[in-house]
Amino acid sequence: MTLRKYSSFRRQTAVAVLAGMLAFALSLAPDAGLAQKKPAKKKGPRAALVGTDEVRAEKVSQTISVIGRLVARRSGVVAARVAGPVAEMRVDVGDRLKKGNTVAVLVRERLHWVGERRAAEVASNKARLTARQAELVKKNQEMARLDRLRTNKSAAHRASKYDAMGQEVAMLKAEVAEASARLKQAEADAHLARIDLNYAVIRAPFSGVVTQRHTDVGAYVNVGQAVVSLIDDSALEVEADVPVKRIGGLKPGTVVAVRVNGQTLAAKVRAVVPQENPQTRTRAVRFTAALESLKGRLAGNQSVTVAIPISVGKEVVSVHKDAVLKRRGNDMVFVVVDGSAQPREIKIGDAVGGRFVVRNGLKVGDVVVVRGNERLFPGQPVRF
């Protein structure tokens, strides 16, 4: 085959292949058009699970800070009620006791035998009283018989015996009364002996924590002598020395803010003590606060800060502190509008408990996000 014929053959072959491919493509074109799918709908952003809170009005007033302290409503020494040497000390400093728990035990042998002797005296006096009562019954029977015999001819003789028997009966009645009194005295002594024996076990009069031990095993304690000091840290309240010129705004039931262990709590005035310190010109004021959340982390005489009101309260707009976020140095919140979170820049003021005063940007009734707001983006749908 010559070179010219070979080139012509290659051109014819290429044209045939292209024609075949074109025919194949045209045969598939209708089906391909039918196989085209409609574009999928674009999905929107997923709704975020959040917690919300309403913007509301708060009544606040100007305040000054006063340093106060925590005081226990129940504290003091646990003293011995009976004298004797200490046999056991069952507590140490820092131990937490419940009411009725044993603090110490005194030597009880002597008290035990004193009780036994008193019990024996009771039994002896009971027997003596029983004997006198039986003798009195017998004399009364004889006297009744003599009374029936006084009517016969020897009435004068029997009358004299009747009178003598009456005197004996009167003496026996006096003896019975005396024996009865001695029995009561013996029973009282026996009861006191049992009390002393019971007091040999010294118990906690209330629940609390031991702050000091005043004696030890082997020491002799007298009645009223201190054994341990106990403080009930579950019944703490706040005491503050308030300047006299600031007392006018404090009445029982007035609510103030107390700062303790880094937390701000609401407290109420329980009492204003009517006694002034002439050196500092202050009066002690007692406040009750809900300290249950800090249980176990508080101590007597611990310092706290009390915000004392110095002006008449006024209403302000407030927002929950967890709603406020810092973005580029500004304060902002996410407000829920038509089911989506919209960012809003605000101006905040002083803290009011767990809330902030809002100076600008929010109004009463706005719903703000307080949980889950860190991950939100503007316009994101939210669910509660």
Position 35 scores a pLDDT of 42
Rounded CA separation 267/294 (Å): 14
Residue listed under structure tokens 């976020």: 325
Rounded CA separation 92/101 (Å): 13
Chain-centre distance for alpha carbon 110: 42
Q: Are strands 282-289 and 303-309 parallel, antiparallel or unpaired?
A: unpaired
Position 161 scores a pLDDT of 73
Position 294 scores a pLDDT of 83
The per-residue pLDDT for range 101-125, each reduced to its tens digit, is 999 999 999 989 988 998 999 999 8
pLDDT by 10s per residue, the chain, length 384: 444 544 555 565 555 555 556 555 555 554 444 444 455 555 667 888 999 999 998 776 677 889 999 999 888 999 999 999 999 999 999 999 999 999 999 999 998 998 899 899 999 988 988 888 888 888 888 777 767 766 655 555 566 676 677 788 888 888 888 888 988 998 999 999 999 999 999 999 999 999 999 999 999 999 999 999 999 988 899 999 999 988 887 889 988 889 998 888 899 999 999 999 999 999 999 999 888 888 778 888 899 999 888 766 678 899 999 999 998 889 999 999 999 999 999 999 877 768 888 999 999 999 999 999 988 989 999 988
CB contact at 8 A, 379 and 334: no
Position 322 scores a pLDDT of 93
Distances (CA, A) of 50 to 257, 321, 339, 340: 29, 15, 11, 11
The neighbouring-strand residues paired with 56 are 318
The neighbouring-strand residues paired with 70 are 238
Domains and CATH numbers, the chain: 49-60+315-383 (2.40.420.20), 63-74+233-312 (2.40.30.170), 109-199 (1.10.287)
Buried-exposed string 50-81: b where 16+ CB fall within 10 A, e elsewhere: bebbebeebebeebeebebbbbbeebeebbbb
Rounded CA separation 358/363 (Å): 9
Position 329 scores a pLDDT of 87
